[in-house]
Amino acid sequence: MKKIIQKVLIGLLLIQAVSFSGYADYGSIDIDGYYDDWEDKPHTEVYYGKKPYVSEIHLVSVFRDETTVYVHIKMSENGYTELPNSYFTMDTDMGSEAFTLMLDSMKKKESGTAGIEVHLTDNWDVVGSGYYTREEGESDEAEFEIPLYSITDEPDGVVDIAIMFPDLGSQDIVCVGAGTGPYIAVAIGAVIVLLSLAYYYKKKHPAYAK
Amino acid sequence: MLTLKIIAFIVWIYVIWVLSRTGLHFFKFCIGSVGLFFFLMLWIQPLIMQPLKMAVSAAAGVLGDFFEMYDSYYQYSILFIPKDTTAVSLTIDYECSGVIEIMAFSCMLWFFPLYNTIEKLIINCIGLAVIFLANVLRIFLICTLIYFYGNEIFYFAHTIFGRIFFYSISIALYFYVFTRSHIIRQKVGSFNYGNGDTDK
């Protein structure tokens, strides 16, 4: 019993040694109309046709956690600089849905930040929200969130997400996971170990001992 | 809930102790390794999950940078693979991090009757490194295939190619640690006149 207690104590010390606490908030996005959360996130270039000049490319970033998909759009510097009310699709491995972005109205030549509603296109339910910012001489910038429950009742199970904005360009913004299928790996390992163990005890059994 | 977990933990230790005393080593292995896996998933997994995801992303990112194929945003556990007109963000999530495999390997090793404590400690460290590197290489292979063949190949790369690669290395690791070693030891053990058991 002493040995077991000793091992448990060593285990508890090891737990203490690997107790990191500063990671929980890494990667979180606040949908608040400030876009600094997106500065260091990867963006996909979105456009139509042959690749145009850099100033005519829209930038879209998709980020996700267990329950929500976050989207950031930076319109191109030239050409279509204003974000329109947009239709877009989201395909996942747990289902697909079409959405419509409805921008709160802003008077012509007005600057500032206003709200966005994300509607399900088929029944017009509001499922998400966000903000967009329009400044004179600048291209529009927007961020919004879509809860994954609008696609499936089991948002944890969503691994692959592809979003497409036909109003902005032909590219899919793809966000995928690549699980190892861990329980299969563990099951294979367990079978090997149990067979080894069975062999080990069989050889140790007095009937087999030489 | 915490009280319940602590009671379950104490009961588990007691059962292990009883099985040890009664010499039921096979049951000790089964209940011990499954129980340890359960408690590690309960208490340790939340602590190491995020650092492990970041470590996998960072290590895979080193290869991506070296071959100039993709970028790692390891703070967010994301690999970003640009390919022609599409870009794929590969998220290193819970199932992708290898945490379950690492814990399962460790649990089975610590209740396997062959090695002594120091040997188990060394083998555990080597095993963790092998699983980690296998996972990093698996991700690198998936990213490489996406980089050259686009997102259309993702399903094949991830579900078939990557997993076969990872499972092959896992099987080799399990074979070397759990099967091959004790066959060799039993052969060598015939020269041993003393009690060579390590599980007592």
pLDDT tens-digit series, residues A92-122: 988 999 999 999 988 766 789 999 999 999 9
Taking CB atoms and an 8 Å cutoff, what residues of chain B touch A62? 89
Report domain extents, chain A.
36-175, 181-210
A3 has a pLDDT exceeding 80: no
Token readout for A1 is 């019993």
pTM of the shown model: 0.81
**Do the chains contact at B73 and A26, CB–CB below 8 Å?**
no
Domain for residue B110, yes or no? yes
B15 has a pLDDT exceeding 50: yes
Taking CB atoms and an 8 Å cutoff, what residues of chain B touch A181? 95, 159, 163
pLDDT confidence bin for B189, thresholds 50/70/90: low
**Inter-chain contacts counted by CB atoms under 8 A, chains A and B:** 161
Distance CA A128, CA A143 (A): 11
Domain for residue B112, yes or no? yes
Q: Which of B13, B87, B167 sits opposite A8 (nearest CB)?
A: B13
Distance CA A20, CA B48 (A): 7
Domain for residue B164, yes or no? yes
Sign of the dihedral defined by the CA atoms of residues B170, B174, B180, B181, in that order:
positive
Domain for residue B125, yes or no? yes
Q: Which of B29, B85, B100 sits opposite A171 (nearest CB)?
A: B85
Contacts of B97 (CB under 8 A, 6+ apart): B49, B52, B53, B56, B135
User: Does the beta carbon of B138 lie under 8 angstroms from any beta carbon of chain A?
Assistant: yes
**Do the chains contact at A185 and B101, CB–CB below 8 Å?**
yes
- How confident is the prediction for chain B on average, in pLDDT? 88
Distance from CA of A97 to the nearest CA of B (A): 20
**Do the chains contact at A23 and B50, CB–CB below 8 Å?**
yes
Q: Which of B43, B179, B183 sits opposite A15 (nearest CB)?
A: B43
pLDDT confidence bin for B66, thresholds 50/70/90: very high
pLDDT confidence bin for B144, thresholds 50/70/90: very high
Domain for residue B198, yes or no? no
**Do the chains contact at A188 and B54, CB–CB below 8 Å?**
no
Token readout for B137 is 């290489």
Q: How many domains does chain B have?
A: 1
- Domain with B101, as residue range(s), is 35-186
Structure confidence at residue B154 (pLDDT):
85
Distance from CA of A72 to the nearest CA of B (A): 14
Interface of A with B in 3-62 (CB under 8 A): 4, 8, 15, 18-20, 23-24, 26-27, 40-42, 44-45, 51, 62
Distance CA A59, CA A66 (A): 24
The one-letter amino acid code at A192 reads I
A205 has a pLDDT exceeding 70: no
Distance CA B96, CA A47 (A): 32
